[in-house]
Amino acid sequence: MSVSERGAAIADAVDVGAVTPLAEAAASGAGSARLGASGREILLDAARDLMIVRGSSEVSLHAIARRAGVTAPLIKYYFGSKEGLMTALVESDTARSLGQLEQLIDLDVSPTQKLKLHVTGIIRTYARHPYLNGLLNRLVRESESEASSRIKANFVEPLIKAQRRIIEAGIATGEFRAIDPNHAYFLIVGACQYLFATRVPFGDLMDGAPSQDAFVRTYTAAALDFILRGLGVAPEQN
């Protein structure tokens, strides 16, 4: 199904007053809708694709609509506003990671092992959704209070608290040196997300390496080594 046909299918769902799964939606062309995707999912996919291609979370409502092959009012029908669409996108993209984060905290493994899994999970999340950190920051900074509060309560705060527990446990067992957990948060998250926040504008300077899967894998290993060595207990100074 073409982009215009997918757009027409969404319009048909609106015309009959029902937000139901589309009968068909081929995963081809702009929007890359999945088979059987709902109108909401087609629009979310269009926003994802556009932000990945542009390397930025700064995309307009009309650009998203064009990418999906629909008109801007249909986005408002499903989400109420661009902010509503972006908030729904963040919640969809972080749901899996948050579930895994809760499981990680309960694992019976060392703080060092938990941190390895945590860092790997953050990088994988940003690899799947490279626009996510910029979008999160923009929504928290610019959104109306309700949307901003939802993002903070449902994603940012759980991430900060979970990482603090890991760092404090590692300090208590002697695996990590004494460090302010808030400092550790910015150091770790910064190391995990900066690659994905800048790989489009910097890609030409590195022959496209930042967008290659092999580079992401080796970067993950390098980031883990860098973070764990930095948190390691410092040798005694004579």
Please report, in tens digits, the pLDDT of each residue of the chain (238 residues total): 433 344 444 333 333 232 222 223 323 333 333 433 588 899 999 999 999 888 888 899 999 999 998 888 888 889 988 889 999 999 999 888 888 888 899 999 999 999 999 999 999 888 888 888 888 888 888 766 777 888 888 888 999 999 999 999 999 999 999 999 999 999 999 999 888 877 777 777 777 777 788 888 999 999 999 999 999 965 443 3
Q: What is the CA radius of gyration of the chain?
A: 20
Per-residue pLDDT of 96-130, as tens digits, reads: 888 888 889 999 999 999 999 999 999 988 888 88
Separation of alpha carbons 169 and 188, rounded Å: 16
Separation of alpha carbons 193 and 135, rounded Å: 12
Domains of the chain listed by start with CATH number: 3-80 (no CATH), 83-231 (1.10.357.10)
Separation of alpha carbons 225 and 221, rounded Å: 6
Per-residue pLDDT of 133-145, as tens digits, reads: 888 888 888 766 7
Q: Is 0.75 topped by the overall pTM?
A: no
> How many Cβ atoms are within 10 Å of 238's Cβ, its own excluded?
3
Confidence (pLDDT) at 118: 93
Please give the sequence-ordered ranges of beta strands (E in DSSP) within 122-214, or none if there are none: none
29 phi-psi bin (left φ>0, alpha ψ -120 to 50, beta other): left
Separation of alpha carbons 95 and 102, rounded Å: 11
Q: Is residue 132 a contact partner of residue 197, using CB atoms and an 8 Å limit?
A: no
Confidence (pLDDT) at 233: 67
Confidence (pLDDT) at 193: 87
Residues 6+ apart with CB under 8 A from 213: none
**Residue 62 amino acid letter:** H
Asked whether the CA dihedral 213, 214, 216, 221 is positive or negative, the reply is positive
Separation of alpha carbons 121 and 158, rounded Å: 14
Separation of alpha carbons 84 and 90, rounded Å: 10
Separation of alpha carbons 7 and 230, rounded Å: 51
Separation of alpha carbons 48 and 67, rounded Å: 10
Separation of alpha carbons 33 and 174, rounded Å: 49
Secondary structure (3-state) at 67: helix
